[in-house]
Chains A and B, each alone.
Chain A
């Protein structure tokens, strides 16, 4: 995979060092560092980075003005705003000069890498972008939701891209994703795991009566929460995405094949003490 060139614009030496240490050992390579607007414009022209991280507060001009000047040289320049403030007014001003991604300091390594990956999708490749950005985000949300909703710890494994069919014995909750990219999330598990998790959620003992309908409703709610939160985490960074979820459809039965031949899909497995919980995330090809 080709290296992706990043220019860091920030007046604070510590902030510049932090970004460069986060990107060490990744596919991103710092090609330039600028501490003010005029330096940034000159270095952009000289080094032609693939993506720029832009601080809001610079000694000569602000990050918005600096973005406009870079766009004057290269209208296609990709710029992510990193600032201590992230309010509606700043986002609006940023969008007006063509900034689509906004991060707030302190930025976590994952957040920064995910954001740069999505912005540089064409350099990095679609499959890698989906996997590294969206799928890892959803995996985190799956683990958090299993803990918060069911009170259960889990061990997460993300498989390589695999668009073959899913075999479902038990329950599957399918939630559609609209916006860009389009796709769907399927949360599925066998009936024993469904009952175990639902009892844990409702604080019931193993011998207490729980109907299939109630257990299915619990899993449906979890699927809904995971899809909604996953999409929100992506939207939170990318203000022009506006991905949204459709209402869940719940499939119950045995020997069901769930397929979508036209998706780029990934499987996430969460091992829990009640059994394995699977989540498949698929995105439409050709987005």
Chain B
């Protein structure tokens, strides 16, 4: 998979999150993986298709998901990862992927994105590719979010 295809996803993350009240996220790692991704607790899958086909997974612990949901809801305390918090994380994934799609279009690769599917549970593996895919680690205010990108 072409490494330049992950930049639109990284750029989306660093552009969109500050607009929702987070500090500017920092990239802390990037690697090529072959094994299935292991869910950290909360993982959201969004598919895309048109000129390129693939999937992106936003993977984080439940603690991080609650922190993000709380910040998105103007600091409202989030004690449990309930439907409201799940909705916030789904919406964030949708915004990130839509923004990445716009960035891909600028590279001449138009894509349409699906609705996000959110999974909760740490005993969960996610397979988005038969081949290699790329993992990017992002730090948001001390919380880690893993972004897995696979393009066919």
Q: Name B113's contact: one of A168, A178, A249, A257 (CB within 8 Å).
A: A178
Q: Is A245 an interface residue (CB 8 A)?
A: yes
Give chain A nearest CB distance to B76 CB in angstroms: 16
Give chain A nearest CB distance to B117 CB in angstroms: 5
Q: Name B128's contact: one of A247, A256, A282 (CB within 8 Å).
A: A247
Q: Is A12 an interface residue (CB 8 A)?
A: no
Give chain A nearest CB distance to B94 CB in angstroms: 9
Inter-chain contacts of A175 with B (CB < 8 A): 47
Of the listed stretches A32-40, A58-66, A153-161, A259-267, name the one at the interface; the rest are far from the partner chain. A259-267
Q: Is B103 an interface residue (CB 8 A)?
A: no
Between A175, A178, A182, A186, the greatest number of chain B beta carbons within 10 A of the residue's beta carbon is seen for A178
The prevalent SS among residues of A at the interface is: strand
Bound form: Cα–Cα A177–B119 in Å: 18
By the criterion CB–CB under 8 Å, are A249 and B121 in contact? no
Instruction: Bin the interface of chain A by size.
Output: 35 or more
Q: Is B125 an interface residue (CB 8 A)?
A: yes
Q: In B98-131, which residues have CB < 8 Å from any A CB?
A: 112-121, 123-128
Inter-chain contacts of B116 with A (CB < 8 A): 260
Give chain B nearest CB distance to A232 CB in angstroms: 14
Q: Name A261's contact: one of B49, B83, B123, B126 (CB within 8 Å).
A: B83
Q: Is A122 an interface residue (CB 8 A)?
A: no
Inter-chain contacts of A119 with B (CB < 8 A): none
Inter-chain contacts of A284 with B (CB < 8 A): 115
**A260-B115, A263-B115, A282-B115 known; A247 and B49 CB under 8 Å?**
yes
Bound form: Cα–Cα A206–B47 in Å: 35
Nearest to B53 among chain A residues (CB) is A247
By the criterion CB–CB under 8 Å, are B115 and A252 in contact? no
Q: Is A258 an interface residue (CB 8 A)?
A: yes
Q: Is A216 an interface residue (CB 8 A)?
A: yes
Inter-chain contacts of B90 with A (CB < 8 A): 260-262
Q: Name B115's contact: one of A245, A247, A250, A262 (CB within 8 Å).
A: A262
Q: Is A70 an interface residue (CB 8 A)?
A: no
Bound form: Cα–Cα A260–B93 in Å: 12
Bound form: Cα–Cα A10–B46 in Å: 46
By the criterion CB–CB under 8 Å, are A246 and B121 in contact? no
Inter-chain contacts of A174 with B (CB < 8 A): 45, 47, 117
Listed by A's residue number, 7 A-B pairs whose Cβ atoms lie within 8 Å are A176-B55, A184-B47, A247-B152, A251-B127, A252-B126, A256-B124, A263-B115
